[in-house]
């Protein structure tokens, strides 16, 4: 049952970056006296074709894969240990929600879930996940999306990778309205951040910035602040898919890497 003026945060299944993002978002919104009504985590199963999954595995170096694997296992084990919530609440999104007293739901199909909600005009759905919301124009609620890239240049998959490959000096996080296209809705809020040579570290920075940009966009909409809301200038070649082997090889040949720095690795291991 939704309450009036609900704020529903929908995020992808992830124990590495998403608990870190959600906890920061809750903290920032609380300062603006904005409460999240529900947190919905969307399953990552059946996300990609087998070909895409094989390419995903090749993007990250062996060292980066070991790092992320270790964080994943540590978070999962910590989350099920019979220890106080105060010592493990940042290990999963579900526990972040429990710590903050926010209703949580895990789902497989976002479109099926949304279709069963009685969304009203003043409701806001914030999405930071991979399933495409079909026929967004049929919903009375406002639907917005967080994208870790410049939507005018890097729509679709792995915008940070593609931006680094193009030798950009900084990345961008964008929050935009959801329309019938992919990352084509009008821009609400954006913020840049400096790149370094590590994909893993740039992901970490992007998630830090994402909580700020997301909170800014939500605040503007919830407090009915004026938004310029003009169409984003979209390059017709801006949609990006999974990189192929040659593009991944060129990434490494450019002196770029994917592993996390030691300090960011330690930061992502935090459970409270």
Share of the chain above pLDDT 90, in %: 86
In whole angstroms, what is the distance from residue 192 CA to residue 15 CA? 25
Q: Which two tokens stand for residue 151?
A: 């939507």
Provide the 3-class DSSP secondary structure of residue 156.
strand
Please give the helix or strand (H or E) that residue 170 lies within, else none: strand 170-177
Whether the predicted pLDDT of 256 surpasses 70: yes
- Domain map (residue ranges) of the chain: 7-268
Provide the 3-class DSSP secondary structure of residue 145.
strand
Averaged pLDDT for residues 59-81: 96
272 and 89 Cβ atoms separated by less than 8 Å? yes
Name the pLDDT band for 49 (thresholds 50, 70, 90): very low
In whole angstroms, what is the distance from residue 34 CA to residue 247 CA? 43
Name the pLDDT band for 51 (thresholds 50, 70, 90): very low
195 and 163 Cβ atoms separated by less than 8 Å? yes
Instruction: Name the pTM for this structure.
Output: 0.92
The region, left, alpha or beta by phi > 0 then psi within -120 to 50, assigned to residue 225 is beta
Q: Which residue has the higher pLDDT, 236 or 34?
A: 34
Name the pLDDT band for 45 (thresholds 50, 70, 90): confident
Determine the CATH number of domain 7-268. Answer: 3.40.50.12230
Name the pLDDT band for 224 (thresholds 50, 70, 90): confident
Averaged pLDDT for residues 200-215: 98
Averaged pLDDT for residues 110-126: 95
| Structure-derived torsion over alpha carbons of residues 197, 202, 205, 206, reported in degrees to the nearest 10 | 150
């Amino acid at each position: 049952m939704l309450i009036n003026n609900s704020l529903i945060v929908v995020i992808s299944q992830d124990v590495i970056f998403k608990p870190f993002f959600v906890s920061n978002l809750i903290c920032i919104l609380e300062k603006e006296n904005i409460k999240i009504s529900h947190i919905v985590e969307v399953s990552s199963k059946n996300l990609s074709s087998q070909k895409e999954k094989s390419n995903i595995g090749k993007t990250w170096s062996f060292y980066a894969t070991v790092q992320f694997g270790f964080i994943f296992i540590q978070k999962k084990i910590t989350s099920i240990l019979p220890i106080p919530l105060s010592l493990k609440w940042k290990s999963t999104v579900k526990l972040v929600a429990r710590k903050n007293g926010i209703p949580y739901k895990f789902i497989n199909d976002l479109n099926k879930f949304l279709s069963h909600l009685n969304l009203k005009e003043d409701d806001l759905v914030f999405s930071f996940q991979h399933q495409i919301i079909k026929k967004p124009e049929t919903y009375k609620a406002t639907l917005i999306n967080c994208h870790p890239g410049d939507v005018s240049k890097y729509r679709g998959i792995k915008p940070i990778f593609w931006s680094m490959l193009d030798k950009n000096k900084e990345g961008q996080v964008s929050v935009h309205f959801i329309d019938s296209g992919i990352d084509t809705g009008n821009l609400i809020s954006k913020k840049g951040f400096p790149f370094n040579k590590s994909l893993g570290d740039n992901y970490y920075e992007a998630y830090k910035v994402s909580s700020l940009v997301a909170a800014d966009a939500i605040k503007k909409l919830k407090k009915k602040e004026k938004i310029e809301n003009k169409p984003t200038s979209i390059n017709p070649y801006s949609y990006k898919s999974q990189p192929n082997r040659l593009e991944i090889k060129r990434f490494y040949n450019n002196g770029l890497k994917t592993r996390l720095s030691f300090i960011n690795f330690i930061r992502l291991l935090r459970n409270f």
